[in-house]
């Protein structure tokens, strides 16, 4: 039993008076005290950001300019990480407020010229070379300045989420054509348990470089004072720090006082006290990015759950009717998957980008459509042999093995690392990993629980529901947030496996199963499983009509299917 996290929560409660007044006033007031976000017109922002961001992302990014606290809700695949990059760029480069009227008039004229050209770019999708816009570059020099005495701290609850953000910043910012790259020591990955490819951005690696260049001591690791001083120098020079919420409480960050902008990714996964850990007196802005429709923090104590201990700061501000900026365009899921997710979890507020409307080669077989459910009426859930407190369902594992064998036989060029197998129960995950057919090197790391797979995505997701007894019910499968996470891990195909007679007793799953039936992608698999092969692959006459229901239109579908079948006999 580890008391370290509880001690950190206690420290937050003890230091609540150290939270900056502008932020604490919003957090602890009964009413929302947020000012007018769009009171100032940011010309460059509205003009140039339309090239790199959609409208909902622009609104979310702009909310961070003039408010102490900003909330951005991003459903899966809506570009939360890219939105964070836009926030970083905009807050690193701010408009100057003290300029002469003459310079403003010059800027307005040059802005109108650039606005016309950028609008032409957006309509005709032609390339625009910003380096040739000398007038715009001169105008920009009046209105932008580097924020030397500030730093941005990007936090997340898990190391996986923060490593994803760090990896994206190494590729550059969306506005990289008009901003210089980050120099050495400016981007820092703080804390342990990071991915190996981020080792060059860690504090110890930087300290080694700094110590070797600025000291004459050959063995600098033997001298703790040199290492300590090198770390302080790195913190002074860092402008963008990536770390977890727990590591953000490091005391040496307080030794180098800078004005901070705090961005917390996956904010809906952390409890309130954990979210307040990195908030210091020097914090100017608090930006929360997350999705309250996904899984919250995992709390096992029932008494704590009764007191809403698992509730996030994001959720509490939402209950106070604090304005939330919703990212409405998703770039991940196939339209058939996103249509159910949008209707069930986001009140039809989720829109599909044109880039996700793609037909994959395996979609032309009846059993491998974008949204398919396999009924396993003969399956039974039992306790795992080695882990008696965990559930497993061997019949569903046989069906998963059957689907996997069919895939690798029909599509030899299919990348097996693009397949993810998930379940709500750790016992089922352990049994799947031990299966002879599924025990492959390509599937290592691709089999996990729904909770463990949150934040990841795969082209194909196979989901095992496990629960199959009337007297036991479906347990926490009834949580619609867990159901949302399971569906939204898939890009091109989501294939569910379960016992329908049990699942349909829950209102959430009843609606989902009705959606599967409506599309004609509902199959009953009985023993022997191998006899189902021919019926699954058969293409029904009405499948083209059902497949085009969510906007897909493939006029030459019949001709493509004939050519596809003929390819097996060449």
178 lies in the same domain as 204:
yes
Query: Which helix or strand (DSSP H or E) is residue 400 part of?
Result: helix 394-410
pLDDT at residue 44, as a whole number: 53
318 lies in the same domain as 359:
no
Point out the domain boundary residue: 278, 309, 327.
327
398 lies in the same domain as 267:
no
Query: CA distances (Å), 319 to each of 32, 76, 292, 315, in order?
Result: 11, 22, 11, 6
> Which tokens in the block code for residue 540?
């029904």
Q: Which residues contact 521 (CB under 8 A, 6 or more apart)?
A: 369, 371, 372, 373, 546
Instruction: Supply the CATH number for residue 72's domain.
Output: 3.40.50.300
Overall domain count for the chain: 2
What's this model's pTM, rounded to 2 decimal places? 0.78
Residue 490 within a domain: yes
pLDDT at residue 118, as a whole number: 46
442 lies in the same domain as 467:
yes
Radius of gyration, alpha carbons of the chain: 27
225 lies in the same domain as 350:
no
- pLDDT class of 93 with cuts at 50, 70, 90: low
pLDDT at residue 533, as a whole number: 60
Residue 539 within a domain: no
386 lies in the same domain as 292:
no
Lowest model confidence (mean pLDDT) among 38-47, 168-177, 553-562: 553-562
Residue 288 within a domain: yes
Residue 216 within a domain: yes
pLDDT at residue 185, as a whole number: 84
Contact 447, 322 (CB under 8 A): no
- pLDDT class of 359 with cuts at 50, 70, 90: confident
Point out the domain boundary residue: 302, 327, 352.
327
**Per-residue DSSP letter, 93:** E
383 lies in the same domain as 449:
yes
pLDDT at residue 517, as a whole number: 86
pLDDT at residue 560, as a whole number: 47
159 lies in the same domain as 197:
yes
Nearest Cα to Cα of residue 286 among 69, 66, 104, 32 = 69
Query: Which helix or strand (DSSP H or E) is residue 373 part of?
Result: strand 371-375
451 lies in the same domain as 511:
yes
Nearest Cα to Cα of residue 283 among 15, 56, 10 = 15
Lowest model confidence (mean pLDDT) among 6-10, 81-85, 122-126, 227-231: 122-126
pLDDT tens per residue, range 272-329: 888 888 888 888 889 999 999 998 888 878 888 888 888 999 999 988 888 999 999 9
Contact 294, 346 (CB under 8 A): no
Residue 397 neighbours by CB distance under 10 Å: 24
| 131 burial type by CB count under 10 A (0-12 exposed, 13-18 middle, 19+ buried) | exposed
- pLDDT class of 405 with cuts at 50, 70, 90: confident
For the cut 70, the answer to whether the pLDDT of residue 192 exceeds it is yes
294 lies in the same domain as 210:
yes
pLDDT at residue 218, as a whole number: 57
Range of the domain at 348: 337-524
| CA dist., res. 433 & res. 210, Å (int) | 45
| CA dist., res. 90 & res. 62, Å (int) | 9
Average pLDDT value for residue range 148-175? 85
Strands 144-146 and 93-95, sheet pairing: antiparallel
Residue 513 within a domain: yes
Residue 132 within a domain: no
Residue 124 within a domain: no
**Per-residue DSSP letter, 446:** T
For the cut 80, the answer to whether the pLDDT of residue 47 exceeds it is no
315 lies in the same domain as 361:
no
For the cut 90, the answer to whether the pLDDT of residue 553 exceeds it is no
378 lies in the same domain as 462:
yes
Which one is predicted more confidently, 547 or 245? Answer: 245
- pLDDT class of 534 with cuts at 50, 70, 90: low
Residue 42 within a domain: no
Point out the domain boundary residue: 327, 355, 374.
327
Which one is predicted more confidently, 139 or 408? Answer: 408
Helices (H), 295-385: 302-306, 313-319, 335-345
Residue with tokens 């091109």: 492
For the cut 50, the answer to whether the pLDDT of residue 551 exceeds it is no
């Amino acid at each position: 039993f580890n008391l370290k996290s509880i001690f950190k929560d206690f420290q937050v409660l003890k230091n609540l008076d150290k939270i900056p007044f502008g932020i604490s006033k919003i957090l602890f007031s009964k009413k929302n005290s947020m000012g007018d976000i769009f009171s100032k017109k940011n010309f460059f922002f509205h003009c140039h950001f339309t090239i790199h961001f959609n409208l909902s992302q622009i609104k979310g990014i702009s909310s961070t300019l003039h408010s102490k606290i900003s909330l951005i809700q991003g459903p899966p695949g809506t570009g939360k990480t890219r939105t964070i990059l836009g926030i970083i760029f905009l807050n690193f480069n701010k408009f100057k407020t003290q300029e002469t009227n003459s310079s403003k008039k010059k800027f307005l004229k040059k802005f109108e010229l650039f606005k016309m050209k950028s609008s032409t770019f957006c309509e005709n999708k032609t390339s625009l070379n910003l380096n040739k816009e000398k007038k715009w570059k001169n105008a920009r020099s009046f209105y932008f300045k580097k924020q030397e005495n500030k730093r941005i701290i990007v936090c997340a609850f898990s190391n996986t989420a923060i490593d994803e953000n760090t990896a994206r910043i190494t590729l550059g910012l969306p506005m990289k054509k008009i901003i210089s790259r980050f120099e050495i020591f400016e981007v820092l990955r703080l804390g342990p348990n990071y991915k190996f490819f981020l080792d060059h951005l860690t504090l110890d690696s930087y300290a080694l470089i700094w110590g070797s260049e600025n000291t004459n001591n050959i063995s600098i690791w033997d001298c703790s004072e040199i290492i300590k001083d090198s770390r302080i120098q790195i913190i002074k020079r860092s402008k963008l720090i990536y770390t977890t919420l727990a590591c953000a409480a490091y005391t040496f960050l307080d030794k180098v006082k800078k004005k901070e902008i705090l961005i917390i990714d996956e904010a809906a996964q952390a409890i309130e006290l954990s979210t307040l850990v990195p908030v210091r007196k020097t914090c100017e802005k608090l930006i929360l990015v997350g999705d309250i429709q996904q899984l919250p923090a995992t709390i096992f104590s029932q008494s704590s759950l009764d007191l809403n201990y698992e509730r996030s700061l994001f959720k509490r501000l939402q209950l106070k009717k604090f304005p939330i900026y919703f990212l409405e365009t998703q770039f991940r899921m196939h339209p058939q998957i996103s249509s159910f997710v949008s209707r069930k979890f986001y009140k039809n507020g989720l829109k599909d980008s044109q880039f996700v409307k793609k037909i994959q080669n395996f979609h032309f077989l009846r059993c491998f459509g974008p949204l398919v459910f396999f009924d396993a009426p003969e399956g039974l859930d039992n306790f795992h042999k080695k882990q008696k407190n965990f559930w497993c369902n061997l019949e569903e594992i046989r069906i998963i093995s059957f689907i996997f064998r069919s895939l690798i036989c029909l599509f030899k060029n299919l990348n097996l690392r693009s397949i993810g197998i998930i379940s709500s129960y750790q016992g089922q995950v352990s049994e799947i990993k031990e299966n002879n057919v599924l025990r492959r090197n390509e599937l290592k790391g691709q089999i996990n629980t729904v909770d463990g797979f949150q934040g990841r995505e795969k082209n194909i997701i196979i989901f095992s529901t496990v629960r199959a007894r009337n007297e036991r019910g479906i347990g926490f499968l009834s949580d619609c947030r867990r159901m949302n996470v399971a569906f939204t891990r898939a890009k091109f195909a989501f294939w569910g496996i379960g016992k329908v007679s049990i699942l349909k007793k829950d209102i959430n799953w009843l609606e989902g199963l009705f959606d599967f039936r409506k599309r004609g992608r509902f199959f009953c698999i009985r023993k022997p499983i191998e006899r189902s092969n021919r019926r699954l692959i058969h293409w029904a006459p009405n499948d083209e009509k059902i497949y085009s229901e969510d906007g897909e239109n493939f006029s030459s579908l019949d001709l493509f299917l004939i050519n596809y079948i003929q390819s097996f006999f060449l």
